[in-house]
Every structure is written in structure tokens, then in C-alpha cells.
Amino acid sequence: MNTVIETLKNRTSLRTYADRPVSQEHLDIILDCAMRAPTAGNMMLYSVIIIEDKKKKEILSRTCDNQPFIAKAPLVLVFVADYQKWYDYYQAGNVEDYCRQENIPFTYPSEANLMLAACDALIAAQNAVIAGESLGIGSCYIGDIMERYEEHKKLLNLPDYVFPVAMLCMGYYPDHYTKRLRPRFKREYVVFKDSYRRLNEDEIKDMFRSLEESFRTENPYNAKNYAQLHYARKTGAPFAREMARSVREALKVWNGDNRKRHD
């Protein structure tokens, strides 16, 4: 096994960090590696916001579903899908006028642009994760940055065509930290050949068997099985409803709803 494969195979999410800052040298490497990530059309449809302000970290630890370890992370990076720079560039280059003259339809940034920009941002983020891991710097994604769109927009000064898709908490591994690799589903339920294969009842049962072992009938959600418990804790939880609301609100910028309202 080479060291890249070793790093990939041993990565876990890290939520407690050694109490020292990430060195400038290591931060530079992490950012350089993030920026070497593949990017759609080489447009680099993302930006990275380094959260240095302690107060902002504390706010984010609350707005991102109350996760106190965020405030304690030595390095916090927010990866934003960013179409604003290209939009502004097109505006500066009078692209709208040009389109009118040439009979080319001019389209404002759309949901497709957001999806592409989100891909760019996440791929760059994962490069940062792996670069960090190889330097003894662990990390944890925070998906909750997609919640509270309006508050995060204000807090991070995000223009309309910028959406925060991922936040990374990073820091050196604490001394004597024992890594625990979390199990994954069997490969046969994740990797298909040539076309998608919908899993049958027995396969679904088998896929979730090991997760179901942790299920206890006494649980605070009154759940009768693991599916119910999981739904109550994750998919149907208040944070997930807030994420749905928040993303729907953000999408109004990209699907043209806000423009229609102003016209």
C-alpha cells in the first residue's frame, strides 16, 4: 500500500483537537492542495473562507445545530459554492448586451450552476481533508452550515450567488488518540454494474443488519425499530427540517423566484 492509499483508508472524522494552532506552513499546503482539485471547466466555482474570528466560530457552533466542538477547532474553513465572481466578470464584460446583439439567450445563474459549483466546492474540500490527514491534521465536515441561510449569509457577508455547502473543522490529532474506523455498507449494495439496481427487501434487510444491532427498544423517541429511530434522530429531526427550509430559501436566488418578485 502506498501512503496516499493508507491515508485514504485510515481517515476518520476528528472532533477533538490538540490545543495548538495549525501552522502557516501546513495551512498553505492544505489550501494549495484544495486548489489543485479538479474543477468544472477550470472555473474554480468556489471560495474558501477561513474563520479566524473566535466570536464567529462561537456563533457558528450554535447556528450549526449546537455543536460546541466547532468553537474549539483550531482551524475552521467554510467552502462556498461561488458563481458570483463569474457573474460579476460577465457583467463587467457587458455579456448581457452582447447576448442581446448576437441573439444568444442570456441566463442568470441557475440551479444547475449551483449544483456544479457545489461539486467544485466539495471536491476542493475533500482535497483539504486528505492533505490535512496526511499531515496529522484531522477534520470533520459540518453539513449544518447549509442551515440558517439568512443568518450565515449575513455573518459571512455572502452575496446572492454564493452558497455555503460545507464547513470543515480541522486540527492536529490529540496525543494518544485512538482512531475508530466506522463501518460502511457492503460494497455490493453501493457499487453497481452498467445500470442502477434497486435493492430488494432481503437486500435492504441485510444492508442494515449490522446497524440494527445497536437498536434498543427503550429509546427516547418511542421508536419500534432502527428505521424509526434513525428517522427521528436524523432525517426527520428539527435540524433536517431547518436545512430543507434554508436550502429552499437559497434556491429562490438560483431558480429566479427572487428576480420574478422584483420585476
Ligand X SMILES: Cc1cc2nc3c(=O)[nH]c(=O)nc-3n(C[C@H](O)[C@H](O)[C@H](O)COP(=O)(O)O)c2cc1C
In the complex, the smallest distance separating the C-beta of residue 221 from ligand X, rounded to whole angstroms, is: 19
In the complex, the smallest distance separating the C-beta of residue 183 from ligand X, rounded to whole angstroms, is: 9
Which chain residues interact with ligand X by CB under 6 A?
12-13, 15, 67, 140-144, 166, 182
| DSSP reduced 3-state for 139 | strand
Return the C-alpha cell found at 69. 466542538
Decide whether 29 or 129 has the Cβ nearer to ligand X.
Answer: 129
Bridge partners, residue 162, by sequence = 82
Decide whether 197 or 234 has the Cβ nearer to ligand X.
Answer: 234
* Distance from C-alpha of 239 to C-alpha of 93, rounded to nearest angstrom: 41
Decide whether 11 or 153 has the Cβ nearer to ligand X.
Answer: 11
Decide whether 108 or 189 has the Cβ nearer to ligand X.
Answer: 189
Sequence-separated (6 or more) residues with CB below 8 Å from residue 124? 34, 35, 37, 39, 46, 48, 79
In the complex, the smallest distance separating the C-beta of residue 231 from ligand X, rounded to whole angstroms, is: 17
Contact between 51 and 76 under an 8 Å Cβ cutoff? The reply is: yes
In the complex, the smallest distance separating the C-beta of residue 73 from ligand X, rounded to whole angstroms, is: 11
* Distance from C-alpha of 139 to C-alpha of 7, rounded to nearest angstrom: 13
Instruction: Give residue number: closest CB to ligand X.
Output: 143
